[in-house]
Chain A
Amino acid sequence: MQSLLSPRTLLIRTLAAIAMLLLVMVACSLVGTEPVSIKAALAGPGPSGSPSPDYEILLRVRVPRILLAAIVGAALAGAGVVFQAVLRNPLADPYILGVSSGAGLGAMLAVIGGINWTLWGRSPIAVFAFVGALGTVWLVWAIGRITGRFHVTGLLLAGVVVNACFSAIIMFLTSIAKSQDVYATVFWLMGNMAEEDAFVLWASGGCVAAGLVALFFLSPSLNAISFGQTDARSMGIHVERVQFVALAVSAFVTAVAVSLSGLIGFVGLIVPHAVRLVVGPDHRQLLPLSSIFGAVFLVVADTIARRIVAPAQLPVGVITAMLGGPFFLILLMRYNKKVCWLS
């Protein structure tokens, strides 16, 4: 199967997808609740003391938010591909190993603890969510290892159990917390996009890009693993090592995304499936294309969330599920004959 994809085809398809992403990002930066004159915005920040509103809205509110949506979308969709491949489970998404409940618990503790410091302009919620997400995946991994050598099932079960336990702790904390804290956490958990500082975008973009490149390096091994561990071993692949590195990198990328924007569902589950339906299951192609289309999908979803009930805004998670579900069903019906699930 690997011979079917030449590096040239891969490059052309990836570049075409990147061009599409850029086009969508430019188009979405023109959409918003306030009318903005591009000419005025590009004229610069204006004389000191009175920055032009067009410049501020476009370059300090809209563009950072669109970049953030692209980073988060790419991270979630890329991680989703890898989780589905390593766990060999079509229902796997980036949150399956406890990232969601770990991040939620971290966020809840930060809010309830009333922690006030900031790190590079990031609130403690983000930092705690990041630590909580990674800590939980490590815990799940450790439990999964204890349960046995063939630990994909063990991992999934450990993920389910840890998720359930942490969700219960979150519910307990929710019931005893001050109501305003609860609202803050609940809204955070629903997933939200906000304008971020340039360095946060730069660094998190770097983390996600590096993580996705690392996963791309692993994609030939992932191809082999998705046929079964025994086959992969007979091809000389260190299955455990690849699984560990792939899960660790995907968990890191997911944790970065979650700490930026809360829990945005559906992107990590549906985009990889949709791309797989169209281009097939080869991970060397599936991973970059899923990441790029994840970015496109989330940028579009966030633009709708910004615009649809203007001037109010919707949590972007609402849009991803409402938009993603029907879109995926259409793809599923259209490409039904080509379906090649992982199992």
Chain B
Amino acid sequence: MRKWCFLLAGFAAWNFLGYALLQPQQVDAVTQVPTTPQPMRIVSMAPNLTEILYALDLGDRVAAVTGDSDYPPQAKSKPNVGSFWLPNVEAVVACRPDLVLTLEIPQQKALAVRLRRMGYRCLTVSIWTVDDLFAAIGTLGRETGQQVLAQSLILRMREDIEQVGRIRAGRDRPRVLWVVQREPLRVAGRNTFINDLIELAGGQNAIGPTLHKYPPIGAEQVIGANVEVIIEPAMMGGNLAEQHRQALAYWSRLPNVPAVAADRIYVIEADTVSRLSPRLCQGIELIAGRLWSGDAGE
């Protein structure tokens, strides 16, 4: 019995000592890092943040990017700080950044907390919708001293989007099924930025409101939704023609769906439609081009 008492006492003493020595209560109080008006060594932790930085003409001030930052091509030659999901803190610290840009996702939030604790300045932006994207461009412009460029970028993007809307105004809105994954079938629901893109391009999501963001659906719903256009972003950057052939083979099992009957199944480059970036308009135009059979198509 005595040894158990010693163990318990030792354990309590250890924790008490640790609490007194290391003062954990100060950890949560994040140290305020002085803001530099013109950060010169920026680390971007996501591909769309990298694109925004380059669009704001900050390419020279980007110190490092994540390995998945593949646009613009110059970004690929920057030092790599791991992937979007598994960031490499060691590599970030080695860059001596004066600003680290992170996204509002749980893993990057943890990274931001750790870096702030070490005294680095982190800016976390949340980009889930098209409006978030404009807000994020504004914030980044403000924090990097590029307000004017940011405002003109936002204006230009808004104009481009309106332009797409004007060209197609008055036309009927095709019912689009956006396929995220074929087997099992999973599509984009209403509460996604893909839905925003479809609507901005002049179409409408064939799938009604669902519990899931990206609902798995069955053949019954596809037939019931009276789908007029099926769009699949190409997976894993592979060969478009090959994926288009596979998609045709898959959908041939539902020959009475209007989109299949009218041969309106499209596989498009996923690049501009899978991330919310300044190339948003290209994505919307890409989608719009597939919505009416008379327009440019595959």
Spell out A's residues near B (CB within 8 Å): 32-34, 51, 53, 56-57, 60-62, 111, 118-121, 123, 125, 175-181, 183-184, 187, 192, 194-195, 197-200, 202-203, 206-207, 210, 213-214, 217, 306, 310-315
Contacts of B80 in A (CB 8 A): 311-312
Main secondary structure of the interface of A (DSSP, over half): helix
Q: Are B86 and A312 in contact (CB under 8 A)?
A: yes
Contact present for A61 and B7 (CB under 8 Å): no
Instruction: Tell me the bound Cα distance from A57 to B86 in angstroms.
Output: 17
Across the interface, A34 reaches (CB within 8 A) one of B67, B94, B109, B114, namely B94
A32–B89 alpha-carbon span in the complex (Å): 11
Partner of B18, one of A56, A181, A195, A203: A203
Q: Hey, which chain A residues are within 8 Å of B142, CB to CB?
A: none
Q: Are the C-beta atoms of A57 and B90 separated by less than 8 Å?
A: yes
Q: Closest approach, in angstroms, between the C-beta of A133 and any C-beta of chain B?
A: 19
Q: B90's contact among A32, A180, A192, A207, by CB below 8 Å, is which?
A: A32
Q: Is the interface of B mostly helix, strand, loop or mixed?
A: helix
Q: In whole angstroms, how far apart are the Cα atoms of A183 and B90 in the complex?
A: 23
Check A311 against B88 for contact (C-beta < 8 Å): yes
Q: Are B86 and A315 in contact (CB under 8 A)?
A: yes
Closest to B86 in A: A313
Partner of A312, one of B82, B109, B110: B82
Contact present for B28 and A125 (CB under 8 Å): no
The answer, yes or no, to whether B270 is at the interface (CB within 8 Å) is no
| Set of chain B residues within 8 Å of A312, measured between Cβ atoms | 67, 80, 82-83, 86, 88
List of 4 A-B pairs having minimum Cβ-Cβ separation, nearest first: A199-B24, A184-B106, A202-B18, A121-B27
Please give me the residue from chain A that is nearest to B213 by CB atom: A178
Q: Is the CB of A210 within 8 A of B110?
A: no
Name the CB-closest residue of A to B210: A176
Chain A CB within 8 A of B211 CB = yes
Q: Does B250 lie at the interface of the complex (its beta carbon under 8 Å from any beta carbon of A)?
A: no
Chain B residues near A (Cβ < 8 Å): 3-4, 7, 10-11, 14-15, 18-19, 21-25, 27-28, 67, 79-83, 85-91, 93-94, 96, 105-107, 109-110, 113-114, 117-119, 211-214, 216
Chain A residue with Cβ nearest B3? A217
**Are A180 and B86 neighbours in the complex by a CB distance under 8 Å?**
no
* Distance between Cα atoms of A274 and B116 in the complex (Å): 41
Whether B96 and A53, one on each chain, are in contact in the complex, defined by CB atoms closer than 8 angstroms, is: yes
Is B91 within 8 A of A53, CB to CB? Answer: no
Tell whether, in the assembled complex, residue A121 and residue B4 are in contact, meaning their CB atoms are under 8 Å apart: no
Which residues does chain A contribute within 8 Å of B86, judged by CB atoms? 187, 192, 312-315
The reply to whether B119 and A123 contact each other, CB–CB distance below 8 Å, is no
The answer, among A118, A180, A181, A206, for a CB contact under 8 Å with B11, is A206
Chain B residue nearest to A56 (CB atoms) is B93
Q: Tell me if A197 and B24 are in contact (CB < 8 A).
A: yes
Q: Which residues of B contact A120 (CB under 8 A)?
A: 24-25, 27-28
Contact of B107 among A62, A187, A197 (CB under 8 A): A187
B212 cross-chain contacts in A, Cβ below 8 A: 175-176
The reply to whether A121 and B117 contact each other, CB–CB distance below 8 Å, is yes
The answer to whether B28 and A121 touch across the interface, beta carbons within 8 angstroms, is yes
7 residue pairs bridging A and B, Cβ less than 8 Å apart: A57-B94, A118-B28, A120-B25, A121-B24, A123-B110, A183-B105, A206-B15
Shortest distance in angstroms between B28's beta carbon and chain A's nearest beta carbon? 6
The winner among B83, B85, B93, B106 for most chain A CB atoms within 10 A is B106
Whether B22 lies near A34 (C-beta < 8 A) is no
